[in-house]
Structures are given as structure tokens and as C-alpha cells.
Structure 1
Amino acid sequence: MDSSTAVAGTAPPPAGSSGATASVHAQTNHGTMIGQWFEAVQRHSGAPLPPESVERDLSDYLPVENEAELSVLLEENRALVLVADHLGSGRWTTALRLLTTRPGDPLTLRRVRRGAGDAFSAEGLKGYKRTGWILDLRATGEGVPASCDFGLELLQADDLRDDDSYLVVVVGREVWDRIGHGAGTLARTPKAPAAAALFMRYLQSAGIADPQAWAGDHRFNEKLPQLRPGQVKDWASTLVRAEFEYRSTTGQGTESGSAGFEAVVKAAGKAVSGWMDVLTDWHCVPGRTSYDRNYLLLASVCDGEPIDDVNEKVLSLSRALGEKGQQSVRLAGQQGPGLIQLARQAGAELLPDGRLRFAGPGFAEAVVRYFLLDRPELAKPFMKWTAQLCVKLPTSQAENLAERLAPWILHHAQAARSTRMLLVVAENWSANSTLQRQAHALLVTAALDPQIGELTRKAAGSWAERQNSAPLLKTLAAVFQSVTPAHPRRMLRRLGDLAGSLDERAQLGATEKAEVAEAVGAAIDALWGDDDLHPQLRETLNTWFDSEHKGQQQAAASAFMYLALQQDELGAPALLTGPGTVPDWVIRGWRTALEAEEPTSLARQACAAWLDASATRPSASDRIFSTLVRAVHDTPTDHLRGLRFLNMVRLAEHWLTQGTAPDQEDRNRLRAALMQSVRHADPHHRPEPEGEPAGD
């Protein structure tokens, strides 16, 4: 219930995580990682929680036993603290339930925007009417500085009452004992509903017939009371997958008392235990060779999909793991087992299309997990080899394998408290056009993970300043952009550090530096869609416009050009929409772009768009001309005035030949008018006397 995703339909449910962070379980992955980090960013950002996300999180909710008490406490105090020792204890969904059932009109639900360890002040919640706030302090390393006087902040609920709003804090017991002084009356532990009832609710939602029969089987009902709600959900999801796979492969039913029922219970029982006993027995078979083990590991890595040149890949894996000797090499000819025998030895079935049907749900993931637990010293070479295998596979296979590998990499980073493997894989994948998206998703997920998020964010900042791979740096720009809604000031600073460090990177060519700067600019442009970030983005751009670092100036110019390309509903430049004078930062943006050695492709596009608008929207023409003229001349000194004028001439000439305004004569007239305005605005321009010729 802290991490609860609806199990719907008759297909195997995706393994997902809701809650305020992007925690990805290492045990399974069914392509949900990108969706997880997107929702995590939304929660961190303080944006309203999407109603469909809230509805999904509550779809299988059963009231906690003390829900009535919690509801009264929240209504009376406007603030409530839900405390528990472990994730999966029901705090998040209980908070959602309480906030969605307040009297009156529905609340707008938001997560309090803050970084791990930041101070908290209820003043930041003031002014948001009818809002249900959730302050999530469950992540590893979370807490509030002692100087914050957190307990007193919670007790002062006048502003919440004035706004008709509520605040629910979800926190671990250790953290609460440290920061909750004086507010103990607001704290309660959710009392989970009966595990068997929750188990049946999950099965019923998934369309399983007769949930009571499954929950009543002694192999489940004896252990369910010992589980937390999140674990109950995992058990139910596993049984749903086992039941689905049995019916799909055999075409037979799973009614209570049938052979199918018994087979599903056994398979689910092995799966929830991680197949540990089965795999231990398999590895202990006398005569088991390294080749056998590596074949099973490779087949599991590929999730049973057909493998081209399977023997070569098994041998490649053997070499990557440092193996030598006869047992690691497949014997020639018909010596040693073939693929059918290897599959049968693993309890799998080789299908006619080359795929493997494993023994039950989660078996492939369990093989990899067993290997990582059994051979921890081989985790790094295994991860590197698998990441490189992704690069060599066709697009669809590469993407699928990368999705499967990502949780294992995150699990390794969590266990080792190290980001080294993240860097190696992200650099590898960023250089491959097929896997750039996966590199981005991997780093964003790690940056929002409750266990290694802070560690990853620090490491990524260091990579941005020290690494010299242009593809990786472009990926980092996109990562910082994605995480900015959750950690705005810090991530904008990271983008600035990345752009500012380009001047010192002798290993990068001018083209590569320009590409990275443009990626930073594109990140700022993407963030512009969040109105709440506009003040910080303008502040950032103004700082970069005046920077001594060429890289920051290039990034600022790129960002501004992207913004300059945006149009309002009438086709006029969006940056000029609104009453009053043109904002100074818009003038500075054009000035920075005009001070490049020569106009960039983006600058040509943006200027052409503005001049097209001037030709087709006469009402906007004066503001457009005034802005461009001021960008050339409105400076206290003559420094670079000549370069700005030259680049304006270049941009106007480019528009004359490439503009989309339909009338060539109008383009000629407007270009001439613009150039005349620019020349006349030059403080050094001397008007020619009336009636005298321009010259001999």
C-alpha cells in the first residue's frame, strides 16, 4: 500500500511503484521504469497529483482498521503524521484515502516540494486553497534540520485552516523520533487491514475466480498474516501471473481442487520465495558445468527470447567473467548437451520458435538475482558485458534488454552505495542512438531513488564537470532537465555548471561543445512549459547572458532561441505577448545570440520566424523591430556593437532568401526598413544633410 499498483485485467500485472520516489524493484521489470520516474518527478515537483494516478493507487485500497480515528484527528488538527517502520506499511495510500474523503469539494492533492534533508516551513503552503498536502519523509537519508522546530510547525495550523487545506506527513519511526518533538499527539501508525482480505481484494481486481479459495489454501493463509500490505500485493501479483501463465500454456482451468489449482499454488509458492530452493538444487547437481550455468544466465538475461549465435554469446560471457578451462567451453560436435537438453535441465521448455518457456513467473529474474547473490565479485563484469550486449543487438531486442538490465544496475548501486556502474553504462548507452533514451531513464530513476537519489545527484554533478564524452554530457543535460521540477535550484545550477565547464574541455571539439550547449538550451526550453519555474529560469538565463564562460553564453543563447521560436495563437512571438515594454531579459537574449562569432542555425530560424511574423502580423511589427534594434545598440559601451550589427545583417539576408512570408517584395521592403532602423539607432550614425547627394 505504500507501493501499490492496481492489478487489472487478466494479463500479468506490471511490477510498478507508486509513492513519491522512483524506486524500481530489482527483482522484476516490465517496462515501467520510464513511467515510474515521470510520476516521481510530478510528485516531487509540487504539481497536482494526476487524478488517474491517485485513482490507480487507491483502486485496491481497503480501509486501515483505525481509519475513522485518523480521519477525526486530521479534521480537528488539519495536520496528521503517519508513522511506520518499513516501506509497504500503507502510509502513502492511507494519506491519499484520507485526503480524498475530506468533507466538501474535492481537494487538489500535492506533494510538498523539497529536497532530502531540506528544512520545512508551513509558510510555503500558504495561499493554496482546498489543497491536500503530503510531506513524504520516507526516503533513505530523509529528515528535517533540528533548527526547523518541525513539531511546532505542524501544530501551527491556522494558515491551513484559513485555506481550508490539510497536511499529512508520511515518515519512518526513527526519523519521527528525532524531529517530532512536541507533536506526538498528531502521530499515528496505520493499522493494516487483515492480510487475507487484502490478498483477496487484489485477486478479485485481477479477475481471478474464487479469491477466497486461493486465500484459504494453507500454503498462503499460514504466511499472509506475517506480511506487510506491500508484500501481500507482491504475493497476489505473483499468483495472478502464475495463474495466467498456466491457463495460457495448458488451456486448462484452475478451479479449486483441480490439478491446475495445485500447479499454480506450487509455482506461485516457488516464485514468492525467489525460486531460491529450486535454483540452489539446480546448481548443486553433480557434473554441472560452467557452460551450463552461463547458458542459463544468458537465457534468463534475454528473458527466454531467441538468441542468435547462442554458443558464441555463452563463450563471450564466460570470457567476460574471467573463466578458463575446459568446463567453460562447449565441446565440439555433439559432445555435451544441446539446446533442448540445456533447456530441460533448467526446467524450461524450448519452443519451436526458439523461445524458452521457463518454470514459472519471475524465474528468469530469479536466475539473475541468484547469480548476483551467489557471485557478488562478478557483478561488475556481468553488468558491463550485458550493457555492451545491448549495444550489439537489433533495436527492439536492445531496448528490451536495457529495460531488464536497468533495475539490476540500480540494485547493484543500492547495495554497493556506488554510482560507478551507472556512469559506465550511461556513457556506453549515450553513445548509441538506440539506447540514449534508456541511458536518460536510468539516470533519472537513480536520481529520484529513495536510497541512492542523493548519491546519484551529487555524482551526476561531478560527471557534468569532469567527463569528456559529448553524448554523455548531452544525456546529463536532459537528466538535469527531467529532475529540475523536483529539485529546481540544484538542477538549474547543474545545467549552469555543465555549460560553464565547456570552455575548459580541450578534448571536445568546437562542434561537440556547441552540441552540448544546445542540449543545455533545449533543457531550459523544455522547462519553460512550467509557469512556476519562469522566475528561476529568467534569473538563470540573465546570469548566463553575463557569464564570462563562453559555454554558458552559448547555452543561454540556444535556450533563448528556442523560446523565441514559440508563438502565440495569432502567430506572433510569444515572448512579445503582453502589455508594456519588452522585458529587458528578452533584449539581452537577442544581444547574446548576436554576439556569437556567426549566427547559429537556431538563431537563423528564430529571426526568420520573427520577421515572418512582422510581415504577416503588422500589429506586431513595431515591437519586433524595436526589440532587434535595441539588441544591437542598447549597451553602455561600443564593445561588440560591430559584430552584433554584422550578424543582424546576416540574419536579415538569410530571411530574405529563406523566409516563408509569401511576398518577395514585402520581404525586400521589410529587410530594408529593418536595416535602416538599425543604422539610424547607431549612436555614431551621422545623418546626411537634406538635399545633398549621398556621395560621389
Structure 2
Amino acid sequence: MDSVMPGDHSSSDWPDQPRHDEGWPPQGDVVERGREGRDPADQPERELPGAHDGRESTVDAQTAHGDSGSDVVPSREAKVAEDDPAIQRMRGVLRAAVAELRQEALFNFGEMNAVKLTAILGQLLEHSELPKRYLETVRAVFAPPDGYEEASKALENPGAVLVLLREPGTGRTFTAHALLADLQLRTGAKVGPLSFGSSERFPLHRLPRDENAGYLLELPSDEDTFEVGGDFGASLFEVQRTLLSRSSRLIVLTTPEQWQRIGGDAPAGVVPPLKRPDGRAVAETWLRAEAPPDLDASRWLADERIVKLLEGQSPSDVLETVGHILKAEGSKSLVAVSDSDPDGFHAKVLSVVQARTAWRTELLEWHSRKGRTSFQRNFLLVAALLRNATVAHVYAQTAALCRLFGKPVSLRGQEEPGVVEMVSEIEAELDPTNDTIDFARPGWDDAVLSYFWIDRPPARKTFLSWMADAPTTKTTDFLETFTPEERLLLANRVGAFAVRWATHHRKADPLEQIISAWQKDKNLWSAATDLVSAAALHPTMGRFVHELLLRWSKAGSTPELQKLTVDVCAREFGRRNTAKALLRLGYAAGSTDFGVQESVGAAVRTIWSEPSARKSLFTSITKWCAPDSDRRASGRRSFAALATLVSQGYEPDDKVPSLLLSDNEEGGFQPSLDDLSVCWGALLTIEADEEEPTEAVNLWMDAAHGNPSLRPLIFGVLRGAVSAADSALGRRLRYQLRDLLYAWEPAPAPNVDADRVRLRHELLDLLDHDRSRSVARYHPRAASRSDGV
């Protein structure tokens, strides 16, 4: 199964990420962050046994790779274990973790409450070492395909490199995580993802210096102007030697097509002969791990109808079937007891089969029933989309949809059917405790939405408009208030549906409609960015979402799509896929929209945090800042973001522009003086009352004052910035710089610093000399990077 989960991230903080200087964060870091915002009373339930020590938990030992544990202890001891409250609690925690993982894999959060959903989305967008809690869950549900044990043993050898050749969505990420989980269990190795970087070749210095570690490297797909270097396979010899010296290992994910181009001259034996996951085995291990103890998984999987459903299915389709089985097993209303089906099992199996065919026959019968009203059809449609929303909100939103369809209804008084009658009409159940609607049939809600889309083409645009606007409503016509938390939960459910729909049908209409409708609401915009960011990292959905982001980055007529693309690039997508992020930022940088330009500026800091991307990034920014560039506005803001980026200098209180610090690490990059001058020239064209030029001048002049070794370089850059070929432009730039320098250290003024004033005059004198051409042009030979800069 390819899945996204807490900790499923193919880039990491190591090496060279700003939040952690070396290696991974502590083992429990992701787990602890995932707890933020949760009910404290629920926190102990979120931690699996063994999550913070090196021991294998009881649950893990009994469930690893589908082992139910029946042969682990004698029957009498097994009975005692079954009755042990601690053991039962541990298994309950594992079932909850497995259920959560399945929902994440399917990008379907309909059963989660607001707090849990917020935490899960936060975890999806984190990047760090894979947490032990997640690794235990993987071992509990992974069904090893043929060839797995041999591959696992091979990975234990220090210096091992395994290349998994599969398309996204075929279980490659989950297989890799299972291999790493077993490696961690057997050797104690730290395991986690590794970023490829932005260049076409994977540099060896990207390998962390940690001892006894296991890494997962996903190769970026070839697209547009970027592709992985054709000598990648040959480079694995040196990778193996480096890993061997550190007792570490590497798993590489790529596609057969890409490997055919880049895998020539690779070391022998790096591609293990792994078979495809067996659908029945995947379903069995998952059901045994997630289902309650009274569910007879063997009976379900022995039924020929279920066996047929699972044959040849992708892991995600198998998980959908597992979800339908669990739903059917837990539904009391599906049990149609008869002489031929005394316990209703046949009816449950039939409901799972019908769910996999989208309930088309049953929905046709329901919609065409005599006396069926548009109010009832719309109520069914709204209830299907707004899963777990209170019935009052479903009722009110149905009225809103009816108005948009030109058939207004009055919910005042008792003219229209009430909610109890409407719930009965759509053959659902009303939870009296939570006041929510539940469909007994598995997969019924998604089937309803699919049926509408096929059945009512002329109504699609109106429906999309209503769907996008639904979370923007702040109150209802009823006594209840639509709280911000409820709006956010609704937004996430609507957004998740739109993402799933877009990737499944390869049509972005619902998603684009949502982005446009939510652009002016800060909270809803953040929700949209979170969802698209998570989908961009999803092993199954990611490829199509990457295509969407590329297309949106060029959509100059819809700046909200460009802005969302840039905002996604400013998050984990940009760290993990730096080459792709740079390409999309380059297109979006041509936008004339202020919001897009501002977002581009913010995104470059994310890309800059990836050392291998710095040269390409700064080259792009320099081109954007050129006087004749049509991307100069984005270039100014991008350079301002980097020019004001601060790093610690040689003293604890010494703050130095990051662009000026030496980077002696292999593959490091330093901007040239000329390129810095070009970018400063663009920055100085910003209006004087804007903060970026003032902040940048203050930081750079403070650095010149506190670090004499940097002074020639800083002065040379600023002098070059105002030396424009156009004399009128040069004059404006000098005036702008003079004003900013005076603001940095005005004199006369109270508490004036004489040294700072002298420094300002020194630079102004040099600017005057340049202008008058009375002296030779200044060449800052002392600015050599080798002089300790």
C-alpha cells in the first residue's frame, strides 16, 4: 500500500535544514507535535507501547506482518492475555492507529472529528525521522509479498542499496517503510526519508553522517525541463562505499521507465525481485489488525464474492474494500435475517459488492421512485457530502442548494418535511446523541455524489458553487451558530472530497472552484493550502497534483491558483521537491498580482533552506531582478526575503546576512558580487515607505559595522547596485540608498554612534567618487571568500 501517514515524508530535516542542524529530531518529536491541540484526556491513548524505548511492544510482537498471536503463548496464557485490561487497551490503541492510517491512505477523513483531523493534517506536512509509533503500525498491517524476506535480509548489510521499481500507487512507499521498520526492529537503526535535492545528480554530501541509519530516497519524476541524471545507476557504487563507512543503508524509489533510462551500469543485485502485493493477504492482515475481535476475517475472505473483488486490485482499492467490510459488519440495519441467511452475513457481503459498483442500481431505483421530490434529492446529496455534520446544518444547506437550483423551500413553520422525515426518506439513521446522519450502507455517500455528477451534467456548476461556498457561511437560520471549528471541519471534508475527485477523475473543476471561493478567508485559504500540500505529498495522488501545480503556476488569468501553487511550494513540497518547486516559482514569478509576488518572496526562504537548491534559486532570482525582466516585482520580493535572512556570525550576538556567510561544505554556493548588485538594484526600486529595503540596509550595514572583514564586500555590492547604465535610474537609486543609510544612523541625533556615522560617510564618499568618475573604480580584493568570509 502506498500511503501517507504521520511521518510518511520523503524529505527530512537532515542534512542542512534550519530546524535541526544535524541528524533527526528526537524519536518522539513527531508524536509529540501530533498531540498539540488534542484533548489532554485522549493523549495517552495516542501512544503505542514501546513508542519511546527500544523494545518491541506486546502488540507489535503479536501482530507483526499479520500474525494474530495465537501461536505465541499457550492457550491458557492466551486466555489470560485476552482478559488482561492492559493487553486489551494496547490492542485498542493499535486498532485506532491502523484505522487512522487507512483513512490517511485513502485521503478520506470523514470519520474524524475536528481536533483529530487538524492534528493529522499537521502530521502529514511534517518532515522528520519516521516515528516508532508509525513503524509499529506498519509492522502490524504489512503483508509481505514474495521476495520480501530476502530483500529485508539484504538491507541489513551495511552499505546496502535497494532499488524498488514500481509506479506510484502500487504499494512501493509502504513496502519501503516496512523494510525500514524491520531494519529498525532488528538493528536499532534510525530510519527516515531523504531529499533528492534540486540538481539532476544526487550529491554524496546529501547523505547524513549518522552511523547505523536507514534512508528512503524517492527520485523525482521527470517533467518539463528537469530530469534525473542518466548516470544515477553508476553513481550508486560510490553511494554504497559511503554508506558502508557509516554502517548505513539506502532504499531508492523509482519507476521502471525512469530506471531504464538512469539505471545503466548500476551495481549488481540492487533491484530485489519483489512480487506485487497480494490483495487477499493485504485485506487479511489489515482486518486482523483493525477489526474488533468478534469480526471473523476468515469467513469474509473465504467468500468467493469478496475474493473476486480483491483479485488484481491495487492496495488502495483493497483498503476501500476493507473499509466497506468494517462498515457493513458494524451496521445493524443491514442484517436481513431469513431462513437462508440466519445471521445476515449474505446481506452484508452483498452490500460490500454493491459498494464496489457504486450502488448504481439501488440509487437509480431510489431517485426514480414515484413521488420523489427535488428537496429529498438535494437533502440526500448534501448529507452525502457533509458527513457527520449536524442534521440542522444539513437541513439549512439543503435549502441553500434548493435556492440555487431555482426551487426555493421554506424551512419556517411546518410547510416542508422535517429532519426526521427527511432522514427516513433518504434511508439513513439519525444519531440522537450527536444529532448527525449516518448511512448504513458502506460507500453510499461517495456513490451518491458520483451518481449526481453523472446524472445531472447541467447542474454541476451550480453544485460546485454551492459546495465551495458552504464552509464560508458563519451562521445558520437556526438556533445553533456555525462555529469556526465546525466551519474548518466542513472545509476540510469538502476540500478532501474535491482533492479525491480531482485525482480520481483527473478533473480539477471542484478543487479550482474551492480555491477561488476561499481566497479571501484566511482560515479557509489555509485549509485549502494544507489539503493540496498533503495531496502533493501523497504517494498515489501526488503525481497528478504536481501536474496541477505546474498548470496553475502558468495561470496568469487566475492569480488565486498561482498563489496557492506558490504557497504549497513554500511548505514541505518545496523542501522535498526543490527542482519542481523552482520550476513552478519561475512561472508564477511572472504574475502582476501583488499577492502572488508576496507569496513568491516568502517561498524562496523554504527553497533556500535546501543547500543543493541555492545556486539554481539565486540564478533565477538574479534573472528576475534584471532591469529588463518582466518578473522584476517578484524578483525584488524574492531577493528581499533572502537579503533579510539572518544567521549567527562569529559572536553570539552577531547577526549576519545569510547571503554573506561562507559555506565550505561540499557543493556549497555563494552568490557573486555582481549578482548581488543586480538584485540590490532591483530592491532599491521599491518605494521608500516599504519595509524590505529599510530592513535589508539596516542588517547589511550592521554587519559591515560589526565585521570589518565583510565591509569591502558589502560596500562593493551596494556601489554596484547604484551603478546603472541609465544615468537617471542611477541617480534615483543613489538618492534612495542615501536616504536609507541616513535612516540607519542619523546625525545629529541623541545618542549618536560616531563609528557608525563615520562608516556611513565612508560609503557615501565612495558613492560620490563613483558618480563623479574622478577616481578609479573600487575593486574590493579583500572580499575574497577565502579570507574567512
Q: Common fold, TM-score beyond 0.5? A: yes
> Are residue 158 (structure 1) and residue 237 (structure 2) matched?
yes
Q: Tell me the CA shift for residue 386 of structure 1.
A: 0.4
What letter is aligned with 1:404? R
CA contact (8 A) 2:388 2:438 kept: yes
What letter is aligned with 1:159? E
More displaced stretch, 420-429 vs 227-236: 227-236
Give deviations 1:22-70, integer Å, cap 9, x for gaps.
Answer: x746998877999888888889xxx876776555544433444543333
CA contact (8 A) 1:4 1:17 kept: no
CA distance in 2, matches of 1:363, 1:415: 17
CA contact (8 A) 1:84 1:189 kept: no
Q: Tell me the CA shift for residue 524 of structure 1.
A: 0.7
**Partner residue of 2:374?**
290
Q: Tell me the CA shift for residue 429 of structure 1.
A: 1.5
**Partner residue of 1:215?**
297
**Partner residue of 2:57?**
none
**Partner residue of 1:520?**
600
TM-score (ref. length: structure 1):
0.72
What letter is aligned with 2:564? T
Equivalences for residues 571-610 of structure 1 within 5 A: 571-575=654-658, 576-578=660-662, 584=673, 585-586=675-676, 588-598=678-688, 600-609=690-699
CA contact (8 A) 1:500 1:551 kept: yes
Q: Out of 87, 90, 96, which is 2:177 matched to?
A: 96
Q: Out of 449, 453, 463, which is 1:382 matched to?
A: 463
Which runs of no fewer than 5 residues in structure 2 stay unpaired?
Answer: 7-91, 334-341, 475-481, 665-669, 774-789
More displaced stretch, 410-419 vs 72-81: 72-81
Q: Tell me the CA shift for residue 303 of structure 1.
A: 1.9
CA distance in 1, matches of 2:734, 2:259: 62
**Partner residue of 1:631?**
718
CA distance in 1, matches of 2:691, 2:134: 41
CA distance in 2, matches of 1:51, 1:293: 47
Structure 2 residue matching 1:573: 3-state secondary structure: strand
Aligned length: 638
Equivalences for residues 121-200 of structure 1 within 5 A: 158-163=237-242, 164=244, 168=251, 186=271, 188-190=273-275, 192=277, 195=280
What letter is aligned with 1:680? D
Q: Out of 402, 412, 432, which is 1:318 matched to?
A: 402
CA contact (8 A) 1:517 1:552 kept: no
Q: Tell me the CA shift for residue 604 of structure 1.
A: 2.3
Q: Out of 522, 540, 552, which is 2:620 matched to?
A: 540
> Are residue 672 (structure 1) and residue 757 (structure 2) matched?
yes
CA contact (8 A) 1:591 1:632 kept: no
Structure 1 residue matching 2:621: 3-state secondary structure: helix
CA contact (8 A) 2:647 2:655 kept: yes
Q: Out of 574, 590, 596, which is 1:500 matched to?
A: 590
> Are residue 530 (structure 1) and residue 610 (structure 2) matched?
yes
TM-score (ref. length: structure 2):
0.64
CA shift in 2, pair 1:480/1:530, >3 Å: same
Give deviations 1:59-117, integer Å, cap 9, x for gaps.
Answer: 433444543333466689956565679945x44333333355568673755467499xx
**Partner residue of 2:496?**
407
CA distance in 2, matches of 1:548, 1:284: 64
CA distance in 1, matches of 2:135, 2:452: 37
CA shift in 2, pair 1:421/1:175, >3 Å: same
**Partner residue of 1:620?**
707
What letter is aligned with 1:497? Y
Structure 1 residue matching 2:617: 3-state secondary structure: helix
CA shift in 2, pair 1:112/1:522, >3 Å: closer
CA distance in 1, matches of 2:108, 2:524: 21
CA shift in 2, pair 1:35/1:529, >3 Å: farther
> Are residue 556 (structure 1) and residue 636 (structure 2) matched?
yes
Q: Tell me the CA shift for residue 676 of structure 1.
A: 1.1
What letter is aligned with 1:349? L
CA shift in 2, pair 1:665/1:37, >3 Å: same
Structure 2 residue matching 1:418: 3-state secondary structure: coil
> Are residue 347 (structure 1) and residue 428 (structure 2) matched?
yes
Q: Out of 98, 106, 112, which is 2:189 matched to?
A: 106
CA shift in 2, pair 1:14/1:365, >3 Å: farther
**Partner residue of 2:513?**
424
Q: Tell me the CA shift for residue 387 of structure 1.
A: 0.6
What letter is aligned with 1:681? L
What letter is aligned with 1:526? T
Give deviations 1:574-621, integer Å, cap 9, x for gaps.
Answer: 42445999962555544432233435212223444556677xxx6437
The percent of aligned pairs where both chains have the same amino acid is 20
**Partner residue of 1:255?**
none
CA contact (8 A) 2:566 2:585 kept: yes
What letter is aligned with 2:449? V
CA distance in 2, matches of 1:304, 1:239: 20
Q: Tell me the CA shift for residue 525 of structure 1.
A: 1.9
CA distance in 2, matches of 1:57, 1:310: 37
CA distance in 2, matches of 1:86, 1:464: 23
What letter is aligned with 1:301? L
CA distance in 2, matches of 1:323, 1:686: 75
CA distance in 2, matches of 1:86, 1:557: 36
> Are residue 642 (structure 1) and residue 747 (structure 2) matched?
no
> Are residue 436 (structure 1) and residue 525 (structure 2) matched?
yes
CA distance in 2, matches of 1:49, 1:527: 23
Equivalences for residues 45-60 of structure 1 within 5 A: 56-60=137-141
CA contact (8 A) 1:26 1:410 kept: no
What letter is aligned with 2:653? L
CA distance in 2, matches of 1:171, 1:583: 36
CA contact (8 A) 2:639 2:683 kept: no
Which runs of no fewer than 5 residues in structure 1 stay unpaired?
Answer: 250-260, 503-511, 688-696
CA distance in 2, matches of 1:519, 1:271: 46
Structure 2 residue matching 1:303: 3-state secondary structure: coil
CA shift in 2, pair 1:54/1:529, >3 Å: farther
CA shift in 2, pair 1:384/1:93, >3 Å: same
Q: Tell me the CA shift for residue 631 of structure 1.
A: 0.6
CA distance in 2, matches of 1:680, 1:138: 51
CA shift in 2, pair 1:655/1:366, >3 Å: farther
CA distance in 1, matches of 2:253, 2:5: 18
CA contact (8 A) 2:453 2:460 kept: yes
CA distance in 2, matches of 1:123, 1:532: 8
CA shift in 2, pair 1:606/1:85, >3 Å: closer
CA shift in 2, pair 1:9/1:664, >3 Å: farther
Q: Out of 376, 381, 390, which is 1:306 matched to?
A: 390
CA shift in 2, pair 1:97/1:670, >3 Å: same
**Partner residue of 2:81?**
none
Give deviations 1:405-459, integer Å, cap 9, x for gaps.
Answer: 2233234434543334433332222232231113323444565566775665455
**Partner residue of 2:3?**
3
